[in-house]
C-alpha cells in the first residue's frame, strides 16, 4: 500500500462537506492551462455510441461499454452518498487497475470528460487494491441508462464514471470522482509539466532534496502547488509568497505535517495527517530539505514584503 493511500484517515468527510457547499459535484476543475471553456464539447455521452479511450503505457485502446460489462471482473459496487448523484447508488463496474496495465505508481493519469473537464490523479491511488480506497470504473449499461444528474437535463454520469470504494481510507476528495469520462491518458511527470516545481538541476541524482521532491510529488501535490506550479487548488501554495520554512520552526513544521491539528486546530481544517506509517522520518526530513531548498528558487510574485 502506498503512503498516499494511507494518508487521510479522517479528512474525507471534511473535504466532502467543504466541497458540497460550493462546487458543482464531480467535475469542478477544468484542466490547468487548457482554458476554462472547452470549445464545442464532443458530447459523446449523447451519441448513443460511447467509447472509452485509454492511452497509457505507450498504447492506445478503446472500449465499448458492452465489452467492459462483459469482462469477468465486472461487478456491482454500492456507493453510499455518491458524489455525482448525492445519494446512495449501485453501479456495474470493473476495478480500474485492470485497464492500467503497464502504468507505474509514479505516473499521473488524466481523466477527460465529454464536456472537456479534466481530473488529474496520481496512478498510485488508482492502482491500489486491497482494503484501502479502491478505484472502480462504473459503466453505464447501454440498455439500462443511469438516471439524469439534474432535472430537466437528460445527461447522466455516463458513459463512464470513476467511483471509489472506501474513499475515506485514501483521502479521496469529490474532485477525484470524474464523471462522463470518455478518455483516460497518462501525462508526463509534474516537473516536466511545471518546471518551476523542480529542485536545482545541479543537484546530484542521489541528493536527499531530490528524494524530498519525490515525496512532495506523491503526497502533497494532490492538494498544494509549490512555486505556483501544479494543478491542485485545495491547499495554499507552499513557496509563494512565503515558504512554510520561512515562518515555521522546523519542529512546528514537522508537527504540522505529522498531524496538522496538533499545531492549529479548527473544525473545517482539511489537511490530513501523515503518520510515520504513511511518511517515514527520513521522508519527512528530505521533504523539509526540499521545501527549504525551494525557498531560494522562488518565482517572482507581485507581493509586498
Q: What are the residues binding ligand HEC (CB under 6 A)?
A: 171, 219-220, 222-224, 234-236, 238, 244, 256-257, 260, 269-272, 274, 287
Q: Which is nearer to ligand HEC, 63 or 290 (CB)?
A: 290
Q: Which is nearer to ligand HEC, 89 or 220 (CB)?
A: 220
| 217 vs 237: CA distance, rounded Å | 13
Per the CB < 8 A criterion, the answer to whether 8 and 274 are in contact is no
Q: Toward ligand HEC, which CB reaches closer, 194 or 274?
A: 274
In this structure, the number of other CB atoms found within 10 A of the CB of residue 256 comes to: 18
Please give the grid coordinates belonging to residue 7.
Answer: 494518508
In the complex, what is the shortest distance from the CB of residue 260 to ligand HEC, in angstroms, rounded to a whole number?
A: 5
Q: Are 158 and 28 in contact (CB under 8 A)?
A: no
Burial degree of 91 (CB within 10 A; 0-12, 13-18, 19+)? buried
Residue number, 186 or 219, with CB nearest to ligand HEC: 219
Q: Least distance in Å: CB of 222 to ligand HEC?
A: 5
Minimum distance of ligand HEC from residue 162's CB (angstroms): 17
CA dihedral sign, ordered 132, 105, 225, 273: positive
Give the nearer residue to ligand HEC in terms of CB position, either 9 or 110.
9
Provide, rounded to whole angstroms, the least separation between the CB of residue 286 and ligand HEC: 11
Kindly state the smallest distance separating residue 226's Cβ from ligand HEC, in Å: 9
Determine how β-strand 118-122 pairs with β-strand 181-187.
Answer: unpaired
| The residue to which cell 451519441 is assigned | 47
List Cα–Cα distances, 181 to 5, 135, 217, 270, 273, in angstroms.
Answer: 23, 14, 25, 27, 31
Three-state DSSP string of 216-277: HHHHCCCCCCECCECCCCCCCCCCCCCCHHHHCCHHHHHHHHHCHHHCCCCCCCCCCCCCCC
Q: In angstroms, what is the minimal distance from the CB of 271 to ligand HEC? A: 3
CB of 71 to ligand HEC, least distance (A): 32
Q: Around Cβ 184, how many Cβ atoms within 10 Å?
A: 25
Residue among 127 and 287 whose Cβ is closer to ligand HEC: 287
As a whole number of angstroms, the distance between CA 57 and CA 61 comes to: 11
Residue placing its CB nearer to ligand HEC in the complex, 64 or 191: 191
Q: How far is the CB of 243 from ligand HEC (least distance, A)?
A: 9
In the complex with ligand HEC, the residue whose CB is nearer, 140 or 231, is 231
Q: Measured between alpha carbons, how far is 231 from 218 in angstroms, rounded to an integer? A: 13
Amino acid at each position: 500500500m502506498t503512503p498516499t493511500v494511507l494518508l487521510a484517515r479522517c479528512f474525507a468527510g471534511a473535504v466532502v462537506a467543504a466541497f458540497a457547499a460550493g462546487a458543482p459535484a464531480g467535475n469542478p476543475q477544468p484542466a490547468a492551462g487548457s482554458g476554462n471553456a472547452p470549445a464545442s464539447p464532443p458530447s459523446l455521452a449523447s451519441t448513443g455510441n460511447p467509447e472509452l479511450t485509454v492511452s497509457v503505457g505507450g498504447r492506445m485502446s478503446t472500449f465499448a461499454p458492452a465489452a467492459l460489462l462483459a469482462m469477468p471482473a465486472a461487478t456491482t459496487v454500492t456507493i453510499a452518498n455518491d458524489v455525482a448523484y448525492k445519494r446512495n447508488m449501485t453501479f456495474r463496474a470493473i476495478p480500474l487497475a485492470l485497464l492500467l496495465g503497464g502504468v507505474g505508481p509514479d505516473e499521473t493519469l488524466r481523466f477527460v470528460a465529454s464536456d472537456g473537464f479534466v481530473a488529474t490523479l496520481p496512478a498510485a491511488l488508482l492502482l491500489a487494491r486491497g482494503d484501502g480506497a479502491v478505484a472502480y470504473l462504473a459503466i453505464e449499461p447501454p440498455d439500462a441508462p443511469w438516471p439524469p444528474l439534474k432535472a430537466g437535463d437528460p445527461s447522466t454520469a455516463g458513459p463512464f464514471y470513476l467511483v471509489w470504494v472506501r474513499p475515506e481510507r485514501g483521502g479521496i476528495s469529490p474532485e477525484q470522482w470524474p464523471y462522463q469520462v470518455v478518455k483516460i491518458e497518462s501525462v508526463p511527470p509534474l516537473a516536466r509539466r511545471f518546471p518551476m516545481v523542480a529542485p536545482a538541476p545541479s543537484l546530484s541524482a542521489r541528493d536527499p532534496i531530490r528524494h524530498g521532491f519525490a515525496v512532495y510529488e506523491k503526497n502533497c501535490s494532490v492538494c498544494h502547488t509549490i512555486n505556483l506550479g501544479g494543478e491542485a487548488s485545495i491547499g495554499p501554495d507552499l513557496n509563494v509568497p512565503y515558504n512554510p520554512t520561512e515562518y515555521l520552526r522546523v519542529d512546528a513544521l514537522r508537527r504540522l505535517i505529522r498531524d496538522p491539528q496538533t499545531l492549529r486546530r479548527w473544525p473545517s481544517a482539511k489537511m490530513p495527517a501523515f503518520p510515520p506509517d504513511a511518511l517515514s522520518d527520513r521522508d519527512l526530513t528530505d521533504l523539509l530539505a526540499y521545501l527549504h531548498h525551494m525557498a531560494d528558487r522562488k518565482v517572482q510574485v507581485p507581493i509586498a514584503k
